[in-house]
Amino acid sequence: MDLVVAKRQKMSKMSELTQTSSETQKIGKPETGVSLYIEHYDSPYYVDKTLLLEKLIDDDHILVTAPSRFGKSLNMNMARTFFEIELDKKNNPIVLEVNEDNNLLKDVQPASKNFELFKDKKIFENKEFMSEHFGKYPAFTGHRYLKDCSIWKSPKFSKENFMNYYDTEKKDSLTLDQIKNGLRTLAEYLYHYYSKKVFVFIDEFDVPTLK
C-alpha cells in the first residue's frame, strides 16, 4: 500500500513539473540585453525596480556598476522614460491632469504614453513623488526643437554655437574645447529652456577606456 501511495505521489509531482514546464514555454524564455523599458515593463520576468527613481533624485552624481546583463541599461532607460517631458506633435510639453490635491489622476492621462508604463508600478504608490517628478525633466536624446526656441534672443547664448553641434555637417569643425564642453553646453541650453534640472544618462561610459 505504501509503495502504491509513494508511486502516485511521484507521478503527481512529475505531472506538476510537466505543467510548470508547459506554462514556462507558453510565457517564453526571459530576454537578456533588452534595454528599452517599454518593451520589458509588462514581462512576467520583469522585476519592478521603479523605487530606484527616488534615489536618483537624492544625489547629483550616481555611478552604477554591475556585470554585463544585470539590467543597467534597462534601468537607465526606465529612469529616462519616467523623468522625461513628453512633447506633442507641435513640440509643446504635454500637461498631465491632476486632482484637487495636485496628485496625478491614475486613469485619466490620455495624452501621456509614458504614464501607462508606470501607473501599476511600486513608484506610483508615492503620490507626492509622482506628482512632483513624473514627466517633469528634459531627458531627451534629440533636441531639434531648440534651434527655433526663444533662448537665442538672450545675448548669453549663441545659436550659431548650438548649430555647430546640431548640424552633423559641421561636426568636423568643432574645436577640442567645444567637444569637451559639448555636454555641459547642451545641459545649459536645456536648463534655460525648461527652467528645470537636467538629467544626463550615460550608458557604458567606460567603453572608450576598455578598447
Which residue range is the domain that position 165 belongs to?
Answer: 144-195
Note whether residue 200 is domain-resident.
no
pTM for the model: 0.63
Residues 100 and 179 in one domain: no
Residue 174 has pLDDT above 60, yes or no: yes
Note whether residue 139 is domain-resident.
no
Cα Rg of the chain (Å, integer): 24
Give per-residue pLDDT as tens, 13-56.
Answer: 545 444 444 444 444 554 555 578 888 888 888 889 999 999 88
Note whether residue 112 is domain-resident.
yes
Note whether residue 149 is domain-resident.
yes
- At residue 4 the predicted structure's pLDDT band, cuts being 50, 70 and 90, is very low
Residue labelled with grid coordinates 547664448:
157
φ/ψ of residue 155, rounded to 5: -65, -10
Q: Bigger pLDDT: 107 or 30?
A: 107
User: Which percentage of the chain shows pLDDT scores above 70?
Assistant: 59
Residues 114 and 49 in one domain: yes
Give per-residue pLDDT as tens, 64-90.
Answer: 777 777 778 888 889 989 998 887 777
Give the pLDDT of residue 164.
63
For residue 160, what are the CA distances in angstroms to 82, 106, 163, 164, 203? 32, 43, 5, 6, 29
Candidate ranges 35-44, 107-116, 163-172; pick with highest mean pLDDT:
35-44
Residues 47 and 65 in one domain: yes
Cβ burial 122-159 (10 Å sphere, 16+ → b, else e):
ebbeeeeebbebbbbbbbbeebeebeebebbeeeebeb
- At residue 165 the predicted structure's pLDDT band, cuts being 50, 70 and 90, is low
The rounded distance, in Å, linking the Cα atoms of 130 and 150 is 29
Note whether residue 62 is domain-resident.
yes
Residue 167 C-alpha cell reads as 548640424
Taking the CA atoms of 121, 126, 128 and 132 in sequence, report the sign of the dihedral they define: negative
Residues 24 and 42 in one domain: no
Note whether residue 202 is domain-resident.
no
Residues 190 and 106 in one domain: no
Give the pLDDT of residue 82.
92
Count structural domains, the chain. 3
Residues 82 and 163 in one domain: no
Note whether residue 203 is domain-resident.
no
Note whether residue 68 is domain-resident.
yes
